[in-house]
Amino acid sequence: MDRVVVGITGASGSIYGKRLVEVLVANSYRVDLIFSETGRRVFEFETGVSVDKFVNSLPKDLVNLYRPDDLFAPPSSGSHQVKGAVVIPCSAGTLGHIASGSTVNLIHRAVDVNLKEGRPVILVFRETPINRIHAENILRVIDSGVTVLPASPGFYSKPKGVMELVDFIVERALRLLLKKEFGLIRNWGAP
């Protein structure tokens, strides 16, 4: 079972989700991909690529695209075996739904299911600055077992471009989710 749920929401930073999916499929992981309604619009605006074109560019046997309103889809069930879930980028609204246990769409439900099954959940929160409500919601989800990974790339590797900054966050998210390295970044102190 090398399957991961990936949610892409309406926060800016769609490139993180796009790159994470590309790295997963390049490493033969199956991806259950869910875009929120706004996530789809932001993805297309920021990347200049339609969601359909992006998904069609990926191996069909490795990626299943689900509608956010399809609560009968496999990721809504605990019996659907996956390694865990990552929401990248994670909007403040999605964070709030997860923190309150309110499952309005399939992304919220998939996260809820993975938490109840004791699987890793990573939220790549992409909001700045944060307010008190965000901070309280972050604490609530952390207390529930979620790992919150702010989209705050490191600069110690002296990145030469935006994609190296993106890879920093993607590598960190994948390490937390799958407990292995993907070689996208140079570790601190490495030659």
Establish whether 94 is an annotated binding residue. yes
Establish whether 36 is an annotated binding residue. yes
Establish whether 173 is an annotated binding residue. no
Establish whether 26 is an annotated binding residue. no
Establish whether 96 is an annotated binding residue. no
CA distances from 164 to 2, 118, 190 (A): 26, 32, 16
Establish whether 172 is an annotated binding residue. yes
Establish whether 10 is an annotated binding residue. yes
Establish whether 92 is an annotated binding residue. yes
In single-letter form, the type of residue at position 151 comes to A
What are the residues facing 123 on neighbouring strands? Answer: 87, 148
Per-residue tokens: 170: 């993607």
Cβ contact 147:123 at 8 Å = yes
Establish whether 12 is an annotated binding residue. yes
Instruction: For the chain, give percent helix, strand, coil, nearest 5.
Output: 45, 15, 40
Establish whether 11 is an annotated binding residue. yes
Cβ contact 151:13 at 8 Å = yes
Annotated binding residues, written as ranges, equal 10-12, 36, 91-94, 126, 156, 172
Annotated binding residues for FMN, written as ranges, equal 10-12, 36, 91-94, 126
Annotated binding residues for dimethylallyl phosphate, written as ranges, equal 156, 172
